[in-house]
Amino acid sequence: MANTIQAKKRARQAEAHRTRNAAQRTQLSSAIKKVRTALATLDKTKAQTAYRDATAVIDRMADKGIIHKNAAARQKSNLNKQVKALATKAA
């Protein structure tokens, strides 16, 4: 356990950051899951709307450093590829 005042404060801050980051990671995975669910139901408009919302969440998490910017780009690219494939299937 931390002995100095400084170390105790850093421990409190680390715990606050950990819980905040965990909540934001959950928000991120939920947004991605909504897109995948919409893709599974083959609902084109729902998938496009969910993708638009997920893109905003992914970008926000990359800006905050929750995920790496390249990981964010990869996730957006993969989801966009799937949404476009669904749009061409439906057409």
CATH ID of 5-90, from 1.20.58.110, 1.10.760.10, 1.10.1740.10, 2.30.110.10:
1.20.58.110
* Banded pLDDT at 6 (limits 50, 70, 90): very high
19 to 14, 15, 58: CA distances (angstroms)? 9, 6, 18
pLDDT at 2 over 90: no
55-74 pLDDT tens trace: 999 999 999 999 999 999 99
What pLDDT is stored for residue 91 in this prediction?
62
Helix (H, G, I), strand (E, B) or coil at 33: helix
Q: Where are the domains of the chain?
A: 5-90
Q: What are phi and psi of 2, to 5 degrees?
A: -65, 140
Give pTM, 2 decimals.
0.86
CA–CA distance, 22 with 26 (Å, rounded to integer): 6
15-56 pLDDT tens trace: 999 999 999 999 999 999 999 999 999 999 999 999 999 999
How many Å is the Cα radius of gyration of the chain? 18
Kindly state the tokens that stand for 62.
Answer: 């990359």
